[in-house]
A and B are shown apart, each in its own frame.
Chain A
């Protein structure tokens, strides 16, 4: 048993809202991911049991989306928007700057498990570019000074 009873009952409750239970797979994946920070086959299995659907149905849905990774990521999961509006205002430079500053490579997690930097597609923050999403939160209108300050804060907070 990996998922907590609390999460399982949340999944069960949310599923009741839908005319068909299969619709609750996506909300279930979100609940599980929120609790665990990643998903794996045994969690798919538990979700399938709670909902009364097949394992493969959960696995299939999970594999389609970008928000349900199968590995744990750094405490600060930094997603830099690489798409056009941000790129026009320096997002590619932003990525390089972050990687250099944190001494890491794209997609890899720093040894202290603090940071993972990735590039993602448009996050709908085009009028406040360049931007990055860190875990759930948007950081917009970024400048070098702002990025420095954020990294310092996160390092200090550990």
Chain B
């Protein structure tokens, strides 16, 4: 069901101004944290809430914070991951553009939870309006004394530095983000050590997603139990789902976790565009396996989507109708991963290019009989053999589309053309 936690005031056109945001309750949570909550209590509260990361992996947020060695003499760093670039995903952007104060208040609260005094806001380079809204929000927060030295007279210091990316999907991967923030190329790094132990400038670091962080002020005000009362047993709270593709009403919908995929697509997103037949759905961003029409009753929570053979990922639901050629889809996604591979690990650097070349030739009528075996062999040799999950992400759409739509690939190879031709036109 639709439940507005993050989107409570999202339609207020002035929400991005600090005065309006404060009228609607902004920075009450930050004040409460600074004045009346101990660090350990805050971490426990977020553990109790059951909040899990909204960046893709779904890792429990409170638990992640608790890995930081707070007693360490080194500085601790908090980085907000606003590099949103998983195809299909556009939810963080809405939060930053419309409600930037909730997002940066979340950064402040998370910083406090790990005793951090210098935080970073890594925003995707192309997100111009998001960047300007966040920049303004940070400036305003400094002026009102919510950031800086001796905040609200409590003795707590916190700086927040806006860092604009340069256009690279890989920099959303947390270790690549840290490389980028250090002024290096955005290459991912081997884990362990995990960032919580050795991250930015080799100091303990937490990277959290925009949406994850935006939940924190609400949890602080209403309590962990309140948050945990929403969602399913293991997937608590709400999520923003970006629904795109062949639906009548594409958009970002905030729903309680556990809402069926069917409800999202038909009740909120208005059903399939032009009342065509549904072909399949990618439920969690381009890096996850497709779900078929007979899986529409899958509840959208981490466990159920996984049991259905896919992943909730970034919450991006991409809907495709019967006129969609799946080899064409695979070609588009393969091109993306080839373009975005950072080049550090050989299986990904070479493999993503080969995947693209082969799918491209199949799509363009040059496919060979052994190509499907080669594709699967390649994909399986990338999967699990790279430092970060970009390699797996590149392999997944190939494996998934061959599994579900093998006949389309075979038709291409045999007849040198599409079984169904994607010929989508501007209206």
| Known contacts A29-B166, A89-B245, A93-B425; A61/B118 CB under 8 A | no
A residues in contact with B93, CB < 8 Å: 124-125
| B269, closest chain A residue (CB) | A127
CB within 8 Å of B: which of A37-65?
53, 57, 60-65
Nearest CB of chain A from residue B328's CB, rounded to whole Å: 8
B201 & A20 in contact (Cβ 8 Å cutoff): yes
Give which listed residue, A60, A128, A147, contacts B250 with CB less than 8 A: A128
- From the candidates B87, B90, B163, B169, name the one contacting A23 in the complex (CB within 8 A): B163
List of B residues within 8 angstroms of A122 by Cβ: 85-89, 286, 336
Contact call A144/B426, Cβ cutoff below 8 A: yes
A150 within 8 A of B: no
Q: How many pairs of A and B residues are in contact by the CB < 8 Å rule?
A: 162
Q: Does B215 contact A (CB under 8 A)?
A: no
Chain A residues lying within 8 Å of B163, measured Cβ to Cβ, are: 23, 26-27
B383 at the interface (CB under 8 A from A): no
A87-B332 CB under 8 A given contacts A125-B90, A126-B316, A137-B128: yes
Bound complex: CA A53 to CA B291 (Å): 50
> Of B161, B166, B252, B424, which one neighbours A67 at CB under 8 angstroms?
B166
Is A84's CB within 8 Å of the partner chain B?
Answer: yes
Candidates A18, A85, A124, A143; contact of B427 at CB < 8 Å: A143
Q: Does A17 contact B (CB under 8 A)?
A: yes
Closest CB in chain A relative to B60 CB, distance in Å:
26
Task: Answer whether residue A118 sits at the interface, using C-beta atoms and an 8 A cutoff.
Answer: no
Report B219-244 CB contacts with A as 1/0, cut-off 8 Å.
Answer: 00000000000000000000000111
Contacts of B128 in A (CB 8 A): 136-138
Which residues of chain B come closer than 8 Å to A73, judged between CB atoms? none
Residues of B within 8 A of A25 (CB): 183
Q: Are A83 and B332 in contact (CB under 8 A)?
A: yes
| Residue contact B426 to A90, C-beta cutoff 8 Å | yes
Question: How many residues from B make CB contacts under 8 Å with A?
Answer: 61
Q: Which of B147-175 contact A (CB under 8 A)?
A: 159, 161, 163-169
Given A19-B118, A23-B163, verify A126-B324 contact (CB < 8 Å). Answer: no
- Within the complex, the shortest CB–CB distance from A74 to chain B, in Å, comes to 18
User: Which residue of A82, A97, A126 contacts B89 across the interface (Cβ within 8 Å)?
Assistant: A126
Of A17, A127, A143, the contact of B244 (CB 8 Å cutoff): A127
How many chain A residues touch B (CB < 8 A): the figure is 53
The answer to whether the Cβ of A88 comes within 8 Å of any Cβ in the partner chain is yes
Closest residue of chain A to B246 (Cβ to Cβ) is A88
A99 CB-CB contact with B under 8 Å: no
Inter-chain contacts of A88 with B (CB < 8 A): 244-246, 318, 320, 324, 422, 424
Q: Does A92 contact B (CB under 8 A)?
A: yes
Residue of A nearest to B342 (CB): A64
Pick the residue among A53, A126, A138 that contacts B87 (CB under 8 A).
A126
> Once bound together, how far apart are the Cα atoms of A24 and B245, in whole Å?
38
Closest chain B CB from A122 CB (angstroms): 4
A36 to chain B, nearest CB (A): 15
* Interface stretch (choices B49-57, B119-127, B296-304): B119-127
Chain B: CB-nearest residue to A88:
B245
A residues 131-158 with Cβ under 8 Å of B? Answer: 133, 136-138, 142-144, 147
Those 6 A-B pairs whose CB atoms lie nearest each other, nearest first: A65-B166, A22-B183, A66-B167, A85-B244, A126-B244, A122-B87
A–B Cβ pairs within 8 angstroms, 29 of them = A24-B183, A29-B166, A30-B166, A61-B166, A62-B166, A65-B125, A66-B167, A66-B168, A82-B332, A84-B245, A84-B318, A87-B422, A88-B246, A89-B245, A90-B424, A93-B424, A97-B426, A121-B87, A122-B86, A123-B126, A125-B90, A125-B93, A126-B316, A127-B90, A127-B250, A129-B250, A137-B128, A143-B426, A144-B427
